[in-house]
Structure 1
Amino acid sequence: MEILKLHDILKKNFVFIKIMILIKTKNKKMEEERKYIAGKFADPMETINEIDVKKGDVMADFGCGAGFFSLPFAKKVGEEGKVYALDVLSSALEAVESEAKANGISNIITKRVNLELEKGSKLDDESVDWVVMKNILFQNKDKDIIIREAYRILKKNGRALIMEWDSGNSFIGPDRKLRISEEELDAMVEKGGFILEKKIKAGDFHYMLIAVK
């Protein structure tokens, strides 16, 4: 009887150990997949270093989300500079504020705005050196008004950094019907008065361009 009990205990322990090994293996695989996918996206600080952002620059982040660009931009421009993190969602702005506080960043100003309205950013004419638009245009019906707003608040020779989902890669991201092709975006920025300066690397799932006022 005791031998049978011991056998049952050993059997249960073996099954438990086997399950734990499977869970650890699965978790390791998921983590490897997560790192692989993350490595396919653009690194914001690498992008910022590539585009010649200067100490003291002022940037407006249209549709800032959780601060993918706002936070590293704020570090780059330093205390002499300023970042306006703009979003329609209060939760996004709260996330930026929380992350900024945790990292000792004090030069980010958050604003809840609707960028599909005329002068929707609530910023002054010709008041910023950079406008960043990351994955915002495909989400909005009136894309032209957002581009015009970027043009309005940029100083002369100011630049817009625009990042959108690659229209030819549907592995991850929004429905392909919502995506904007590079040719379509080129036409939009030129219609908005910008001069297309250059295209820069943006990982496997996006493309990115810089346009000058």
Structure 2
Amino acid sequence: MHHAGRALIDPFKILEKIKLQEGMRVADMGCGRTGHFVFPAARIVGPRGMVYAVDILKDVLENINSWVRSQSHDNIQTIWSDIEMVDKTPIPAKSLDACFFMNVLSALKNRNGALSEAARLLKDDGSVVVIDWQKKLATLGPSDEAMLSPLKLTELAKESGLRLIESYPVSEYHYCSIFKKS
């Protein structure tokens, strides 16, 4: 089940773009039921790395945990946390090589809080990867009011101490923006 949605966005291409390697530590912030980046990242970082699947919904984390058990992954840890609250995610500061937000930021009220929390968790050379909806179809994605344009995202990221490295369409309906610490 965690493979659902890969037809739209291939996580391995994005992980390759940010040069994810064995032994690295990453977090899928607001990982959701499918953990879009969780399982692909776990394959790449291997047994010496760690993938944190972070979400506020306990049933989502239970779903991820059941997959972890069935696949015998020792390098995935689920974390129950509100990613919009700075200093609340129980991951050491400056310990992550990458943080991922997949279709999450457009759904949050405190986007600055989530981006600031990611910046806090990142190593100095780490990456924040945001994938969100492009305004294409009225029936797909969030409402127009909730839509987060790449330009608005870049402004919010700058306020959170992040600078844009690259932004590009990653599918017909999504864009990907990659940030580093300023």
Q: Same fold (TM over 0.5)?
A: yes
1:47 and 2:7 matched: no
Instruction: Say if 2:150 and 2:167, in contact at 8 Å, map to a contact too.
Output: no
- 2:146 is matched with which residue? 178
Cα drift, residue 105 of structure 1: 1.6
Measure the CA separation in 2 of the matches of 1:128 and 1:112: 17
Measure the CA separation in 2 of the matches of 1:102 and 1:176: 39
1:87 and 2:55 matched: yes
- Give the secondary-structure state (helix, strand or coil) at the position aligned to 2:67: helix
Measure the CA separation in 2 of the matches of 1:167 and 1:195: 23
Measure the CA separation in 2 of the matches of 1:194 and 1:173: 25
Q: How many residues align?
A: 177
Comparing both structures, which one devotes a greater share of its residues to strand?
2
Measure the CA separation in 1 of the matches of 2:137 and 2:152: 16
Go from structure 1 to structure 2 and tell me whether the alpha carbon gap of 1:38 and 1:109 turns closer, same or farther (over 3 Å shift).
closer
Q: 1:58 aligns with which of 25, 49, 61?
A: 25
- Structure 1: 5+ residue runs without aligned partners? 1-34
Comparing both structures, which one devotes a greater share of its residues to helix?
1
Q: Percent identity?
A: 28
Q: 1:140 aligns with which of 104, 108, 115?
A: 108
- Aligned pairs for 1:101-180 (under 5 A) are 101-180=69-148
Measure the CA separation in 2 of the matches of 1:56 and 1:170: 41
What code does the residue aligned with 2:38 have?
S
Measure the CA separation in 2 of the matches of 1:150 and 1:178: 21
Go from structure 1 to structure 2 and tell me whether the alpha carbon gap of 1:75 and 1:200 turns closer, same or farther (over 3 Å shift).
farther
- Give the secondary-structure state (helix, strand or coil) at the position aligned to 1:204: coil
Instruction: Say if 1:71 and 1:96, in contact at 8 Å, map to a contact too.
Output: no
- Structure 2: 5+ residue runs without aligned partners? none
Cα RMSD for the two superposed structures = 1.8
What code does the residue aligned with 1:59 have?
V
Instruction: Say if 1:42 and 1:201, in contact at 8 Å, map to a contact too.
Output: no
Go from structure 1 to structure 2 and tell me whether the alpha carbon gap of 1:77 and 1:181 turns closer, same or farther (over 3 Å shift).
same
1:197 and 2:160 matched: no
- 1:97 is matched with which residue? 65
Cα drift, residue 74 of structure 1: 0.8
Go from structure 1 to structure 2 and tell me whether the alpha carbon gap of 1:38 and 1:69 turns closer, same or farther (over 3 Å shift).
closer
1:207 and 2:178 matched: no
What code does the residue aligned with 2:30 have?
G
Instruction: Say if 2:96 and 2:126, in contact at 8 Å, map to a contact too.
Output: yes
Go from structure 1 to structure 2 and tell me whether the alpha carbon gap of 1:196 and 1:77 turns closer, same or farther (over 3 Å shift).
same
What code does the residue aligned with 1:202 have?
V
What code does the residue aligned with 1:54 have?
Q
